[in-house]
Structure formats: structure tokens, C-alpha cells
Structure 1
């Protein structure tokens, strides 16, 4: 374990919320509403910075730009026929796949007095992931992986193959930096699914927006890239081992009563937002 210095990661208290036990009644929309809730509470300094891990059943999470696709309804029907739920999230980026072998992590902070720069949020997550895997010799890079799904300048990759993507959500003086980590499973099939979704949705028939030409060979999983059979639980343990070095106190918790009340409000908002893709 090599501790990498980062002032955002170094906190007096870190709260840890584990939502990796799949609950069919708790969809990805619930996760996005949870992060909004955490932003509000942490932004108001009612709760400490929080790390939340979460996993969902087979879901495709669309970005706002995906709603501009000319034949989106056909694309959604294709995904649903393939056995996936489809949701529209409230943070940046394009379509990504969620399933039981993909771990999602949100680090939620209070925004700084003059604002946490967007790149600083990305760099903080990048630093944390490098720290989690510092026992391995493989080098983790942050750069756009062209032809991946949901490409961005902070794609995380090993040997040119993307295994993670980072996004951010800013709300009510709170900042949620979110990452999905492909732990295991068939990443080629995930990439093919998104490629077909964009083809069916007519990505090449719209000039104003750019959608990726997904090539499965540029993406991989941590199990493949680190040559080790890793599980979601393995990665959660690595996360906790890293996080405890950045905190004077690390404790596990669930949402408070006040947060549960706020959650209902934010969940209703994101459900209404999702009406536009039905």
C-alpha cells in the first residue's frame, strides 16, 4: 500500500456506505438520487465526506446527450429486449453498462470556498484508484480511449484498454465524483451492446452531436488486465484499506432519517426526468 498525498482525500472523518448487495427494488435511479441527497447533506456540512459503493442488475445508464439520438426509442427497445433496464442519469457522459460485475464508487465532498475545480475532482478519483492498486506493477493511465463507450479525458486504462470512466455531479455545495469499474464479466459483449444501441438509434444521422464508434477491443476488465480473478468484494476491501489511511476516522453507516426524507424528493425528481425517454 502506497499512500499518495491528496488534500481532498485527506479528511478527519470518512463515512462509508455499502450498497453492493443487489436489491431489485433499488434501481440505478435510486443510486443517482442517493448521490444528490449526499451532495445536499455534505454540502450543508450536516454529514462528513462519504464514499459509497453500489452495484445494480443489468442496466444501461444513458447520458443527457443520448436523448438527442434520432431513433432513441428503437435503441431503448433493443436494450430492453436484450434484458437491460434503461435509465437516464443526471451526470455527464454517454451510455454505460451496469451489471453485477461492475462496481460503482461515489466520493462525495463539500465544495471548497472558491469551488473545487472540475479537473481536481477527476484527479482525486484517479489518485484514489491508483492508490488502491499500487501493489500491482501495471500502470494505470488517465486519458481518453478513443472508440470506447462513454469516452472522456479521464478514462482509466491499463496497456491502452479502458476499464473505468469518471463523471461528476455538483449540487447544493456538494460534489459527487463517480466512477464505474469493470471488475470482471464479458466486457466485449458490453461494448458490442452499446455499439448496436448507437447504430439502431441512428447516431450517424445526426451531425450536431458526436457519438462513439465503439470498438470492443479497446476495453477490458481489471480481472483481465491484472491477470487475477477479482470480485466486487475484493475491490471493496482494497477501497477500504486505502480509505482508512486518508482518514482519522472511518466508519460504516446507512442513510440518516433526514437523508431518507431528502432521498424521496430527489428520487421523485429523477423519475420525472426519466419520463422523457419513455
Structure 2
């Protein structure tokens, strides 16, 4: 990696929400990243690294809500004990649980435009640096058969452990990754496979939904052959971020940010309720 990467910043702001527990809802994360996009985009905040964990949650994409028997699929997920929500950006169904660490890198476009590939590549570099102690080769390419497949799937030996997305709002760019740290990657994929089977219900669709092959997915613990935990990876994440910055600061939301967050939360909550009707 070269030092002109957008990862190298004079200051990184850290908001660590990885230990908030089961009461921390994924809708709160959507509102949080929208709020931080505004803060970074306006120049009121330096670039931000936010980390978070959500328990037993399935996040669906808008396209998933158009499945012919969507209600049947959602009923199945709820029977398994999952909270089901619909995200406010692109993509398809993903599993979040206590073994999945999520990271957002939030940048400003105030000084210079950040094109889509630059945002994705920064996150690829970040994850590669975090995992460098494990001496694994990480590929960024679409893994067919995985859930929420995309150009920037991250895999080791052809098995996906992470996916990257972006959200752009008010001059801010949030690049987000989910990292399956421990547990069974194929087990998570099996849940999504069955969701699509029930929600498609054998009916044809104009949109091509992924045919999930559970063996295409694995957790990092499975891939590196060593038991890793979210807290292990969180420590490595902070160490890695420190290598990019002159300084780092752990902060909470400011008073103006809290006000905007409340507004954003109401917005995503209402949108989610409508999507699940």
C-alpha cells in the first residue's frame, strides 16, 4: 500500500460499538452511519472508523422484499429467532450475529472526490493489513454461490468471509464491511439458502436471486485454522488504524450529531416498517 491511500489521515476518530450487546439494533447502525456521513462530509468531523456487532439479525435488501413469497421467507427467519430488517441501500440478504464484526470507514469528499473503486480498495487494503499476522492470501472477487455476492467479496481459498458495501450521503462516503470472524460460515449461508427457497416458492422472477451454495462461505476462524474472536479482531483493527494516523480519538456523538441521529433513526425506522408490511 502506498502512503497516498485515503487510509492515511492526520487524525482518525473512533466510535466503537462492538460491545453494546443484543439491545443494539441494526436500524440504529443505519442511522449512525448516515449521521457520520453528514459530519465527515461537512468537515465537522475527521474521518471516522466505526465498529459494531448486531446479534441474531438478518439484513435484507430492497430487492429481497420483492420476492414472490416474501412473507413466508420472513416468517421462517423469525421462527429461527432472527430480527429481520431492510437496509436503506443496495445489496441482498446477509446474516449478522455475535461472531460477525462490522466496520465502517467514513470519509469526506469536501477536499477531493473519492470514486467508488477508491472507497472499496481502501477497505480491501484495511482488511488485508488487519489480517496480515495470519499470513493468508485474500482475494477480492465475486464468489458465486455466496449470499449478497458482489465484485468486492473477500475470500481465502475461494471461500468468502466478508463483503463490502458503500453508502454516500451529504458529501460523506461510508465504506462498510462485515467480517465473519467465528462460527460456521456455511451454517449462516444455509439459513439464507432456505430463506430464498421459501420466499421464491418455485415461482419465476425477473430479478435473478443468488443460488446459495453454503460451502462457498466460511468464517475466519475456519479459514486460518485458529480460534479468533470479535474482540481479537477488534484489537488488531485498532492497531492497524493507528499505523495510518498521526493521532486517534475515541469519541461519542456531539449534541448536534445526536439530534441528527434521532431524526435519521426515525426515518430509517419508518422506512423499514413500510418495507416489511
CA distance in 2, matches of 1:12, 1:178: 21
**Which residue, out of 87, 112, 118, partners 2:85?**
87
Deviating more after overlay: 101-110 vs 14-23: 14-23
CA distance in 2, matches of 1:196, 1:131: 35
CA distance in 1, matches of 2:114, 2:231: 31
> Does the aligned pair in 2 maintain the 1:90–1:169 contact within 8 Å?
no
> Does the aligned pair in 2 maintain the 1:6–1:124 contact within 8 Å?
no
> Does the aligned pair in 1 maintain the 2:163–2:177 contact within 8 Å?
yes
Instruction: Give the aligned partner of residue 277 of structure 1.
Output: 276
Shift of 1:252: 1.1
Q: TM-score, normalised by structure 2?
A: 0.96
Instruction: Give the aligned partner of residue 18 of structure 2.
Output: 20
Shift of 1:203: 6.8
Unaligned 5+ residue runs, structure 2?
none
Shift of 1:186: 2.0
Is 1:242 aligned with 2:240?
A: yes
Instruction: Give the aligned partner of residue 205 of structure 1.
Output: 203
Deviating more after overlay: 181-190 vs 76-85: 181-190
Q: Deviations over 1:192-232 (max 9, x none)?
A: 10000001111752432111110111100111111111000
Shift of 1:5: 3.7
Q: TM-score, normalised by structure 1?
A: 0.96
Shift of 1:268: 0.6
Instruction: Give the aligned partner of residue 142 of structure 1.
Output: 140
Aligned with 2:164: secondary structure? strand
Aligned with 2:162: secondary structure? strand
**Which residue, out of 55, 62, 71, partners 1:64?**
62
Instruction: Give the aligned partner of residue 119 of structure 2.
Output: 121
Aligned with 1:267: secondary structure? helix
CA distance in 2, matches of 1:86, 1:38: 24
> Does the aligned pair in 2 maintain the 1:4–1:127 contact within 8 Å?
no
> Does the aligned pair in 1 maintain the 2:41–2:110 contact within 8 Å?
no
Instruction: Give the aligned partner of residue 103 of structure 2.
Output: 105
Q: Deviations over 1:105-127 (max 9, x none)?
A: 00000125563111111101001
Q: Deviations over 1:86-144 (max 9, x none)?
A: 01111221000000000000000012556311111110100111111122221000000
**Which residue, out of 173, 188, 191, partners 1:190?**
188
Instruction: Give the aligned partner of residue 173 of structure 1.
Output: 171
CA distance in 1, matches of 2:23, 2:4: 37
RMSD between aligned alpha carbons? 1.4
Is 1:214 aligned with 2:212?
A: yes
CA distance in 1, matches of 2:131, 2:186: 23
Is 1:35 aligned with 2:28?
A: no
Aligned with 2:77: secondary structure? helix
> Does the aligned pair in 1 maintain the 2:42–2:110 contact within 8 Å?
no
Shift of 1:251: 1.3
Shift of 1:64: 1.5
Shift of 1:70: 1.2
> Does the aligned pair in 2 maintain the 1:4–1:131 contact within 8 Å?
no
